[in-house]
Structure formats: structure tokens, C-alpha cells
């Protein structure tokens, strides 16, 4: 006889069921109320923070604009002072050189010869040779008369003043360069906005970096640099007014030796240009061969990758076929073919890798040879430039002293040569 099956467990009453539904509805109402309240607070907070952020950004942008204007005014003032300083350095250098030429007219040829020898001492490695040019220059030095008069005190004063001007210029130039960099950074800051791609969080951005100065100290530094430069320029103008220019006749004793020296110098330069032309041709061909070898290595590496992939396929096929069931696991022609393919591919990869190694060794040898060629080109280019400097310097022996426009500063020309060398040569 069949019996009624009753599901085990607690059974609720209808009021319990209704109370549960009411409780769920009440909880839903409360949660929606809470959510609405939070949304209203979030909207108020977003409005407040948005307005505050816009106002703060506006203040920062305004302050940056003001700072850029201030720094730019100082930059313009320093740039004008730098221009005036450069003009004064150039003017004082010419006056000093004119005084030197007047006092030591016969020292010009000696200075030129020693300067050419000094230039050529900067030759490097294999180019440091005792060539005809050097021999002729030493002959030229030996026949030059000793200096008849020493530099007058005013020339020394001009030298010291040039040093002071350049020192002031160095400080002024450094200050000007720093202001240009600061302007670039502040203008970059002005360009930043929330859509910029290069903005990010930084570690402790509100820190005070080491070396930070006060605004008054910054302004005082710029003012001091400018005032010092102006004071040195005024002193230089007074000194130039005190120097008397006297032009003396130049001695033509060394014309024959000068011509022989310049003939040897020009011949040496032609030989050097021919050697450079040959080296550049070798460099061009070597670079072409390097490019071809690099392309060959690239293709070898691509073939190695392809053969490696083929080997992976063959390995996978062999491994997969080991799972054939029972009698199907036989050494058929496909198995032999795959085994042979693996062996062939492994041999191919070894051959390709060996060839890649050989190619890389050849490429390394080419790079070493290219380095030798380029090094020698550097040596010879340096020597040719030095000989060109010698030719430029020797123009002073052709152009009359009173008409010569120096291409180098009087401070760095030949007056700092060791006095012992001049005494020995004399």
C-alpha cells in the first residue's frame, strides 16, 4: 500500500511568509534612501572640489605667468649686458694686440712659428712624424731675433682686465643660461593640463630641494652679476683709453724661410688630403660590406628560426604518434620519415648556427678594421686641421700688422707660451 512522502525540514506559516516579503521591501526602501543620500552628498562634494581645483589651478597659472614675466625681463637685461661685454672683450683684445705688435714687432714671426709648432704637437699616434714641415719650422724659429722689449705694464693690465671681463662674462653667461632653462621649465609647466600625456604622480613633490634659495637672494645674485659686469666694462673702457697705439715696421728677414715653410706645409697638406681620400674610400667600401654582412646574419637568424619551428613541428608529430594504441604503434614509413626529418633539421640548424658564428666573426673583424680606418681618419683629419690652423695663423705674416683682424682672442693667442722656450730658442 502506497504511503505519502513528506519533505523533511521546517515549514513556515503564511504570516511568516508575508512578514518576510514586507521586511525585504522595507530593507530595499531603506537602501535606496541611503544610496540617494550618498549620491546627493557626492554631487555636492564633486561641485565643491571641482570649483576649488579650478580656482587653485587659476592661481597657480597666474603666479607662473608673473614669474615667467619677471625672469624674462632679467633674461633680456642679462642678454644685453652679455652682448655689451662681448663687444668690450673684442675691443680690448684688439687694442691689446695692437700694443703688443707695436712693442714687439719682430716677435710676430717667432710667435707664429712657435704657435704652429705647438699646434702640431697635438698630432696623434702615427701622425707624430718629423716631417719637412716641422724641420722648416724649427729652422724658422732659429733665425728669428730675440725679443727686444718686454711687454709694458699696460699690456699686462689689459691681459688681467681681459681675464676679469671673461670671468664676469662666465658668471653672467651662467646666470643667463640658468634663467633660460628656468623659463623653459616654467613654460613647460604652463603647458601642462589634465589631458597632457606626460603627467604622473611624483614622489614627495612638495619637498624643498637642496640648494633652494630665497626670492631676495635670487634677485640679489642677478643684480650683483650684472653690476659687476658693468663695472668691469667701465674699467675696460678706461684702460682702452689709456693705451697708446704705436705701429712699428715689420722685419722682412724671414721671407725666404717663410716661403720654404709654407711650401712644405702646402705639400704636406696635399699628401694628407690624398691619404684621407684613400681612407674614406676604404671606409665606404667597408661600411657597404658590413651592411651586407649584417643583412646576411639577419637572414641566417631568420632561417634558424624557421628551421627551429620546423624541428618543433617534427618533434611534436613524433611525440604525438607515440600515443597510438596497441598494434597501431608501429614503425611505419611516416615514423621513419619524421625521424629522418628531425635528423636533417638538426643538421641544418647546426650548419646555419656555424655559418652565423663565422659570419659574426667576419663582421667583428670588419668592425675592427673599420675602427682602425676611422681612427686613422681621425688622426689625419686632426693633423690636417692643425696644418690648416697653421696656415690661418701664418696669414699674420702676409697681412700688414696694422690691418690684420685677429681670428683668435688676444688672451689665448701666443702670449701664454712658456717664456723658457723663447729664451732657449733665442
| Residues contacting residue 329 through CB under 8 Å, at least 6 positions apart | 321, 322
CA distance 317 to 325: 15
User: What is residue 148's predicted lDDT score, i.e. its pLDDT?
Assistant: 58
Closest Cα to residue 238, out of 168, 154, 156? Answer: 154
The residue ranges of DSSP E strands in 13-137, in sequence order, are none
pLDDT-derived band at 204 (thresholds 50, 70, 90) equals: confident
The pLDDT assigned to 7 comes to 58
pLDDT by residue (tens digit) across 95-120? 778 777 767 766 677 788 888 888 88
Q: From CA 301, how far away is CA 308, in angstroms rounded?
A: 10
For 177-204, the DSSP string reads HHHHHHHHHHHHHHH--TT-TT----SS
- Is the separation of the CB atoms in 93 and 162 below 8 Å? yes
Q: Is the pLDDT of residue 406 over 50?
A: no
Hey, how many other C-beta atoms are within 10 angstroms of the C-beta on 64? 15
pLDDT above 50 (res 424): no
* Least reliable range by pLDDT among 174-178, 184-188, 347-351, 362-366: 184-188
Buried b (16+ CB within 10 A) or exposed e, 388-406: ebbeebbebbeeebeebee
pLDDT value of position 251: 45
For 41-61, what is the mean pLDDT? 81
Instruction: Note the pLDDT of residue 246.
Output: 46
The per-residue pLDDT for range 366-399, each reduced to its tens digit, is 899 989 988 988 888 888 888 888 888 888 776 5
Among 15-29, 47-61, 289-303, 336-350, the range scoring the smallest mean pLDDT is 47-61
Query: What does the pLDDT average to over 411-423?
Result: 34
Q: Is the pTM of this model over 0.95?
A: no
pLDDT tens, 129-153?
888 888 888 888 877 765 455 556 7
Choose between 182 and 80: higher pLDDT.
Answer: 80
Compute CA distances 47 → 8, 40, 113, 198, 363, whole Å. Answer: 58, 11, 81, 27, 67
pLDDT at 214 over 80: no
Please give the pLDDT value at position 102: 66
Q: Band the pLDDT of 254: cuts 50, 70, 90.
A: low
Is residue 417 over pLDDT 50? no
Q: Is the pLDDT of residue 403 over 70?
A: no
Amino acid at each position: 500500500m502506497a504511503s505519502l512522502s513528506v519533505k523533511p525540514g521546517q515549514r513556515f506559516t503564511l504570516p511568516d511568509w508575508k512578514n518576510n516579503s514586507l521586511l525585504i521591501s522595507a530593507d530595499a526602501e531603506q537602501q535606496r534612501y541611503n544610496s540617494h543620500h550618498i549620491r546627493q552628498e557626492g554631487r555636492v562634494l564633486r561641485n565643491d572640489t571641482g570649483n576649488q581645483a579650478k580656482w587653485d589651478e587659476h592661481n597657480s597659472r597666474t603666479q607662473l605667468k608673473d614669474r615667467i614675466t619677471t625672469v624674462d625681463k632679467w633674461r633680456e637685461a642679462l642678454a644685453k649686458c652679455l652682448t655689451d661685454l662681448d663687444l668690450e672683450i673684442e675691443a680690448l683684445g684688439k687694442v691689446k694686440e695692437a700694443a703688443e705688435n707695436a712693442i714687439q714687432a719682430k716677435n710676430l714671426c717667432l710667435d707664429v712659428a712657435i704657435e704652429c709648432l705647438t699646434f702640431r704637437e697635438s698630432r696623434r699616434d702615427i701622425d707624430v712624424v718629423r716631417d719637412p714641415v716641422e724641420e722648416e719650422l724649427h729652422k724658422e724659429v732659429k733665425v728669428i731675433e730675440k725679443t727686444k722689449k718686454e711687454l709694458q705694464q699696460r699690456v699686462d693690465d689689459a691681459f688681467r682686465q681681459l681675464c676679469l671681463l671673461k670671468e664676469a662674462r662666465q658668471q653672467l653667461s651662467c646666470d643667463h643660461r640658468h634663467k633660460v632653462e628656468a623659463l623653459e621649465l616654467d613654460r613647460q609647466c604652463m603647458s601642462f593640463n589634465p589631458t597632457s600625456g606626460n603627467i604622473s604622480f611624483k614622489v614627495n613633490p612638495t619637498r624643498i630641494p637642496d640648494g633652494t634659495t630665497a626670492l631676495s637672494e635670487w634677485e640679489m645674485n642677478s643684480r650683483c652679476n650684472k653690476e659687476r659686469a658693468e663695472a668691469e666694462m667701465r674699467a675696460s673702457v678706461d684702460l682702452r683709453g689709456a693705451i697708446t697705439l704705436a705701429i712699428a715696421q715689420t722685419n722682412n728677414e724671414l721671407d725666404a724661410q717663410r716661403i720654404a715653410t709654407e711650401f712644405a706645409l702646402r705639400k704636406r697638406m696635399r699628401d694628407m688630403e690624398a691619404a684621407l681620400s684613400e681612407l674614406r674610400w676604404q671606409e665606404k667600401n667597408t661600411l657597404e660590406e658590413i651592411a651586407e654582412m649584417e643583412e646576411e646574419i639577419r637572414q641566417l637568424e631568420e632561417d634558424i628560426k624557421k628551421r627551429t619551428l620546423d624541428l618543433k613541428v617534427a618533434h611534436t608529430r613524433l611525440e604525438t604518434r607515440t600515443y597510438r594504441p596497441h598494434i597501431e604503434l608501429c614503425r611505419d614509413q611516416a615514423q621513419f620519415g619524421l625521424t629522418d626529418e628531425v635528423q636533417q633539421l638538426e643538421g641544418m640548424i647546426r650548419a646555419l648556427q656555424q655559418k652565423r658564428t663565422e659570419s659574426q666573426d667576419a663582421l667583428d673583424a670588419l668592425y675592427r678594421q673599420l675602427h682602425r680606418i676611422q681612427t686613422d681618419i681621425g688622426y689625419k683629419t686632426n693633423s690636417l686641421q692643425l696644418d690648416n690652423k697653421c696656415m690661418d695663423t701664418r696669414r699674420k705674416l702676409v697681412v700688414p700688422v696694422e690691418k690684420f683682424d685677429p681670428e683668435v682672442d688676444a688672451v689665448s693667442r701666443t702670449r701664454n707660451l712658456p717664456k723658457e722656450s723663447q729664451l732657449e730658442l733665442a
